Structure 1
Amino acid sequence: MNGNSSTAGKPIRCKAAICRKAGDRLVIEEVIVAPPSRHELRIKIICTALCQSDVIFSKLVDPPAIYPRILGHEAIGVVESVGEDVTGVKPGDTVIPTFMSDCGDCADCHSEKSNLCSTLPFNITPYMPREDKTRFTDLNGNPLYHLFYISSFSEYTVVDKNYFVKIDPSFPPDRACLLSCGVATGVGAAWRTAEVEPGTTVAVFGLGTIGLAAAEGARLCGAKRIIGVDVNPDKFEMGKKFGLTDFVNPKTCGDKSVSEVILEMTNGGADYCFECVGMASLVEEAFACCRHGWGKTVVLGVDKPGTPLKFSSTDVLRGHKILTGALYGGLKAKRDVPILCKRYLDKELQLDEFVTHSVKFEEINKAFDLLEEGKSLRCVIWMDK
C-alpha cells in the first residue's frame, strides 16, 4: 500500500452526499471510506459536476434502483493511496475517474472498433467492478452503494485501476471533470463513433449538455449544417456557440413530424443524427430523418431499461442506414481524454461554455434544482470552496 503515511491502508472518515430514498433530497453525512484493495486507488475529490444520469438514478424506484447510494460520476481528484498491482499512478497524481473500463489488454481495448472493454464490461452495479462489495459504509457500519464505479459525491472515493485517466495537475479542474462523462460523450460520439465528415449535415435531438457537446463535436469535425431539435426555443441561441445553424421545435411543427420537417429541410435527410434525450420515439424520429444510403444515427440518451424500439424491417433493409449506441461516445479514456485536454488548451474544444454554475458541496441540492429547472448545463460542485 502506497500513500500518505497517516491514512494509507486505513479507513478514512469524511463527508458524502447520500441518496437514501427515491426522490428525496441528498443528505450530507459522515461516512467511512475503506482503503483501496488490490487493483484499486483511493482518490480525494477536488470537484464534481452534476449529470442528468445522477438525477435519473436519484429517482429510480425499480431495479437497478438501490438505496442508500452515493451518486456522482463526473469528477477530478488527487490520488491519496494505491493498492497492490496498481501501476502508472502514484499518490499525489491528478486523475479523472471514468465509468468505462480501459484495461488496455483485451481484444476490445486493442481494437479501433470498440471501447467496450471485455475484461470489465460496463454494467449498472452498486458495487466495485471486480467483486460484489462496496467501499462505503455509514457510521453504523451499514453499506452505502456505488454508482457507475465512481460515486464522486464524497470527499474520498475508491476506483478500480481501469477506470481513471491521469492528467496534468495544472489543467483547470472545473473543466477537466466535464471529460468524465457528458461533454466527452457528446464530442466523442461525433468524433469517434459517427466520424462526422467535413461539409456534412447533422441533426441533434435534445440540447442538454450531451446534445450541445455532440454539436460541438460535429463543429470540430467540420460539419457544414447542424440542426438542433428541442422544445425549449432558448436552446437555439445557446446552441449557436457550439455550431448550431438551424433549429426545430417539435411544438411548432404543426401536422408534420420532426423527421418530416428535417427531411424537407435537408432534401433527403441528415448525414448524421444524434439522439441525446433517452426517448424511444426520438430514436425512431432520428432514424427516420437519417439519409438513405449512408446515414448514421447514434443513440446517446438513457431510456428506461427494456424500452423497445419499433422499425419496419423493410425500411431497415432498403434504407442502408446505421443505428448504433455509443457509451462514453465511443472514447477510449486513456487514449482520447488527453487529446481532448490538448484541444481545449489549444482553444479548439469549448469547455468553458458548458459550466453555467458552481456551488459548494454543502449546496449540492441546489445543483439538482438548477438542472431540473432547466437553468444550467453543468453545475460544478466544489468540495473545499
Structure 2
Amino acid sequence: MGTQGKIIKCKAAVAWEPGKPLSIEEVEVAPPQAHEVRIKIVATGVCHTDLTFLNESKEKHRSSFPMVLGHEGAGIVESVGPEVSEFSPGDKVIPLLLPQCGECEYCLNPRTNFCTHNWVGIMKGTMADGTSRISCKGKQVNQFMCLASFSEYTVVADVSLAKIQEDAPLEKVCLLGCGVSTGYGAALNSASVQPGSTCAVFGLWGVGLATVMGCQAAGASRIIAVDVNKDKFPKAKVFGATDFVNPKDHDKPISQVLAEMTNGGVDFSFECIGNVEVMRAALESCRMALGTCVVVGYTEAQEIAVAPIHLLMGRTLKGTYLGGWKSVESVPKLVSDYMNKKLKLDEFVTHTLPLDKINEAFDLMTSGKSIRTVIKMAE
C-alpha cells in the first residue's frame, strides 16, 4: 500500500482524562516496528470494560491517559514491521487483548491461557519498548490493552493478533475479540459446565448473554438468567436461558431465592457485571461442597469480601480472562464456528453507529438500551 512506512493521519476517539467523554481527534499512527502490525480497523464493539476502565482510572491508572480505548476490533492488515512472518497486507485479522507468544511458561502450559509477553506494558497501554504508536497534538496517546480499536488505524504486536478467514464479516466477528469469547469460554473452559447441570448467570449484557450461550452449548439443563432489567429476559431466552429472576421482585437475598429454586443452590454461577456485591451473591448461590462460581466481570476499584465458610464448605471461586481461550489459536476457530452457524453473533448487535457517535454508544450501554453497539469506521 502507498502508506507503508509512512505516518498515517486518521480519526480516533481520544480519552484525554478519566471519567470524561471521549473526543474525536485527528491522530498520527506511526509505522509498525519489529514484530508489529499496522491495521485498518473496520469495526469495533463497545465493551463495558472500556467504560469501566474510563470511569475507574482516576487514581490507579491516571498516568495512562491520554488514551485511545477499544479492544474488541476487527480489521485488515495495512502493513507489517520487520521480522513479521505470519501476516501480510490485506489479511483479515482480530486484535487480541491477551497475547499468545507461544514461548513463555504460561503459553506452554495447557492449564492456562495467560501469556507474559509485555504484560506490564499492556496494563499501561504501551508497546514492548514503553511507547505508543499513536500521537495527537504532539503528545503520546497510549493504547488500551496495546490495541486501541477506537482508532481508524492502530498498531499491535504480532503475538496479539489472529488471522481469520477472508469471508468473515468484520462487523460481527469483532465481538470475538473480547465479550463473546469471554462469556462463552467462561462456561465451556473456566467452569467446565457439565451436561444436566444448573447454572445462574448474573448480568445480561453481552458477556452475560455469551455465558448463557456457553452454558447451553455445554448441555446445562437449567440456566437461570439474573438481571434487574426485565427487558433483557427475552434476549436471554434466545441464547438458551430457561428461567428468569429479577432481584427487585424479591424481599430476600438473591442467593436465598436461587437456593429455594434449586433445592440448595446452583452447580455453576457466573458474575458478569463487575460488581463485588454481586460476586459475593453469586458465590453464595452455589451448592455447598460442589458449586463453582466464576468471576467474569471486570473491576479494579473494589475488593470482594468473602465469608471463609463458603469456601471451607467446598465451593470454588475462580476468575477468567478471555474465557480461558488461548487467543491466537482459538479465536480463528471461534470465527469458523460462527461461519458454520455453531455460534451466535448477530443476535448480540443491537446498534451500529459511526465513530463520532462513540459517546452515544456508552450512553446506550449505561441506560440498558443496548446489548452490543458496533462502531463501523468510515470506508
SS at match of 2:119: coil
Query: Does residue 69 of structure 2 align to residue 79 of structure 1?
Result: no
Q: Post-superposition shift, 1:122?
A: 6.8
Aligned to 2:100: 102
1:72, distance to aligned residue in structure 2 (A): 0.8
**Aligned residue identity for 2:377:** M
SS at match of 1:154: coil
How far apart, in 1, do the equivalents of 2:298 and 2:93 lie?
Answer: 26
- Of 111, 114, 121, the residue aligned with 1:113 is 111
* Cα RMSD, aligned residues only: 1.6
Q: Cα distance 1:124–1:301, how it changes in 2: closer, same or farther (>3 A)?
A: farther
Alpha-carbon distance between aligned partners in 2 of 1:34 and 1:309, rounded to the nearest angstrom: 41
More divergent stretch after superposition (52-61 vs 372-381): 52-61
Q: Distance in 1 between matches of 2:133 and 2:127?
A: 11
Match of 1:155 in 2: 152
* Residue deviations 1:295-339 (CA, integer Å, cap 9, x gap): 11110111234x33222333322x222111101111111222122
Q: Could you tell me which of 340, 363, 367 is aligned with 1:369?
A: 363
Secondary structure at the residue paired with 1:379? strand
1:173 aligns with 2:158: no
Q: Is the 8 A contact 2:284 2:310 kept in 1?
A: no
Q: Is the 8 A contact 1:298 1:323 kept in 2?
A: yes
Contact 1:126 1:134 in 2 (8 A): no
2:44 matched to which residue of 1?
48
Query: Offset at 1:123?
Result: 6.4
Q: 2:261 pairs with 260, 265, 273, which one?
A: 265
Aligned residue number for residue 4 of structure 2: 8
Q: For residue 170 of structure 2, what is the amino acid of its counterpart? A: P
| CA distance in structure 1 between the aligned counterparts of 2:310 and 2:138, rounded to whole angstroms | 56
163-172 or 289-298: bigger deviation: 289-298
Structure 1: distance between partners of 2:147 and 2:376? 16
Q: Distance in 1 between matches of 2:75 and 2:248?
A: 42
211-220 or 370-379, larger mean C-alpha shift = 370-379
Whole-angstrom CA distance in 1 between matches of 2:36 and 2:44: 20
Distance (whole Å) between structure 2 residues aligned to residue 21 and residue 207 of structure 1 = 29
Q: Say whether 1:88 aligns with 2:86.
A: yes
Is residue 342 of structure 1 aligned with residue 340 of structure 2? no
Instruction: Describe the SS at the equivalent of 2:365.
Output: helix
Please give the residue correspondences for 1:173-252 in structure 2 after superposition, counting only pairs within 5 Å.
173-252=170-249
SS of equivalent residue, structure 1 residue 162: helix
Aligned to 1:330: 324
1:315 is matched with: 310
Partner of 2:347: 353
CA-CA distance at 1:10 after TM superposition = 1.8
Structure 1: stretches of 5+ with no match in the other structure: none
Code of the residue aligned with 1:197 in structure 2: it is Q
Q: Is the contact made by 2:160 and 2:328 (CA closer than 8 Å) also made in structure 1?
A: no
| Conserved 8 A contact 1:73-1:152 | yes
Tell me the SS of whatever aligns to 1:125: helix
Alpha-carbon distance in structure 2 between the residues aligned to 1:321 and 1:106: 31
Structure 2 unaligned regions, length at least 5: none
Q: CA deviation at 1:153?
A: 0.9
2-structure distance, mates of 1:127, 1:246: 40
Residue 125 (structure 1) aligned to one of 119, 123, 143: 123
Residue 282 of structure 2 corresponds to residue 299 of structure 1? no
SS at match of 2:124: coil
CA contact (8 A) 1:125 1:146 kept: no
CA distance in 2, matches of 1:37, 1:266: 55
Give the letter aligned to residue 364 of structure 2. L
CA distance in 2, matches of 1:270, 1:109: 32
* Partner Cα distance (1:316, 1:55) in 2: 32
Cα distance change of structure 1 residues 313 and 361 upon mapping to structure 2, 3 Å threshold = closer
Q: Give the letter for the 1:92 counterpart.
A: G
Q: Which amino acid aligns with 2:234?
A: E
Q: Report the 3-state secondary structure (helix = DSSP H, G, I; strand = E; otherwise coil) of the residue aligned with 1:148.
A: helix
TM-score calculated relative to the size of structure 2: 0.95
How many percent identity over aligned positions? 44
Aligned length in residues: 377
* TM-score, normalised relative to structure 1: 0.94
